[in-house]
Structure 1
Amino acid sequence: MKKYYSILILISIVNFSFSQVQKKVFYNENLEEISESNFYKQLNFQKNLDLHFENDTLKTSLLITRKNYGQLNDSIFNNLKKSLSSDKELSNNLIVIVYYPGKDRCNGTESTSFWNIFDHDYLKKLNKIGSYSHFWIYKDDENLQYYHPKQVKWENDKNQLVENLFFKLHYPCSSAVIIDKNGKYISYYGEFGKSTIWELSKELINTKI
């Protein structure tokens, strides 16, 4: 998590430092400044995302690792579980959170989504991997009506808890995090499909089907 606090601080420093100069700056996944050509040479959608922040005088481009590992301490994990489900204890092997950040260049079309995570076999196969509690969380509900609200229960991110724990920046499309019963997690930023959730879930609990 410290890495993404560093990213936010870096953006603030760079914007302040070059506030009077028109400039483009590029950073790799280690927050090291690199050339524009190296930035796009290293860009690999399977591995990373390119995020861009700009104002009138500066454009900052970052490479962000898509797949990340972490561990929640007991206090934070318990608080998250209570926020997700206040009426019953979450005791399944996995907690799966699909996170919708709001309308952006990826999910800006105004038509029913054909995203395969809404396929009928998605949860069926997930259940074969391990028992789970699944949550559909959104930050901003603009365009959310095109993401099957009659099929799944979208819930607002209470007090931005999920955002602050896992998705501090706006990653395009949607993102996901899978957490095991001990608080160990794998987060995945940006566009993904049902097979990604299956693979990360199997990796997290080391189960083969």
Structure 2
Amino acid sequence: MKKIIFLSFIGILIYSCSSSKISKKEIIYLDENNNKISKSKFNQIWQTDRLYTYGDSINSKKLALREQRGKISSRTQLEVLLEKKINQKLDSSKPIVIIYYPGKDYCNSNGVNTKKRIKNWYGKLEKGLYQIAKIKPIYIYKNNENLQEYDGIVDWKKDPKGTIERLFFTLYYPCSSFVVISKDGDYISYFSEFSQDLVWEATQQMNE
């Protein structure tokens, strides 16, 4: 009996030690090309405006470009999906601006927003977009948790078939992001926190 108890104790001790090692596993730092870099180098690059960081697992952190440019294969198909979701016809000769909300996270649920601030910020955004291209942004979410604070101000719509995520936001970026698509399907996407100026500038470029 004593032998069994002793062996059980040893087993628990070994498990505890191994669990501790796993929980304290060294964090791996990666650049935007998945190359391993030092923590100091990671932090140095992260603090520039060009790059942003996200964690793709518990034990790794990776750098990602804040801005991405590309071209989708069919703007027409995207228009059809969006028109059905927002119940509104889109002008195929004008840019499409999409504000994308990934879900509740540490960045977009810090409690600093008020109804007044939200209304002013999005009102200013929409006014600028109308002046540039006579368009309104489309608000798309992946997960609507914590969006109740936008009620009566912003009309968020569920990502149709996960299309917006698949095309533009395959990785998780905190807060919210945006993408602007030209009439020809070229696009500029910007990940995580952004100002109205960035949206306006991208829209001007995609409206040329």
More strand by share: 1
Residue 150 of structure 1 aligns to a residue whose secondary structure is: coil
Tell me whether 1:192 sits opposite 2:194 in the alignment: yes
Counterpart of 1:124 (choices 122, 127, 138) is 127
Show the counterpart of 1:84. 82
Show the counterpart of 2:52. 49
Structure 1: distance between partners of 2:160 and 2:182: 21
Q: How does 1:26-45 map to 2 (within 5 A)?
A: 26-45=29-48
Q: 1:115/1:165 Cα in 2 relative to 1: closer, same or farther (>3 Å)?
A: same
Shift of 1:21: 9.3
Show the counterpart of 1:73. 73
1:40-83 deviation line (CA, Å, top 9, x unaligned): 1111352111111334xxx1111010111010112xx2221111
Show the counterpart of 1:61. 61
More helix by share: 2
Q: 1:117/1:194 Cα in 2 relative to 1: closer, same or farther (>3 Å)?
A: farther
Number of aligned residue pairs: give it: 182
Tell me whether 1:23 sits opposite 2:26 in the alignment: yes
Residue 174 of structure 2 aligns to a residue whose secondary structure is: coil
Structure 2: distance between partners of 1:133 and 1:95: 8
Q: Percent identity?
A: 33
Shift of 1:85: 0.3
Residue 171 of structure 1 aligns to a residue whose secondary structure is: coil
Structure 2: distance between partners of 1:188 and 1:117: 21
Q: 1:70/1:186 Cα in 2 relative to 1: closer, same or farther (>3 Å)?
A: same
Instruction: Structure 1 unaligned segments of length 5 or more: list them.
Output: 1-18
Where has structure 1 moved over 6 Å in runs of 4 or more? none
Shift of 1:139: 0.7
Q: Is the 8 Å Cα contact of residues 119 and 153 (structure 2) preserved in structure 1?
A: no
Structure 2: distance between partners of 1:157 and 1:119: 20
Instruction: Structure 2 unaligned segments of length 5 or more: list them.
Output: 1-21
Show the counterpart of 1:109. 110
Q: 1:117/1:40 Cα in 2 relative to 1: closer, same or farther (>3 Å)?
A: farther
Q: 1:116/1:153 Cα in 2 relative to 1: closer, same or farther (>3 Å)?
A: closer
1:139-196 deviation line (CA, Å, top 9, x unaligned): 11111011x2312211001211111111111101000000010000000000112111
* TM-align CA RMSD: 2.3
Q: 1:117/1:30 Cα in 2 relative to 1: closer, same or farther (>3 Å)?
A: farther
* TM-score of the two chains, using structure 2 as the length reference: 0.78
Show the counterpart of 2:10. none
Structure 1: distance between partners of 2:131 and 2:204: 10
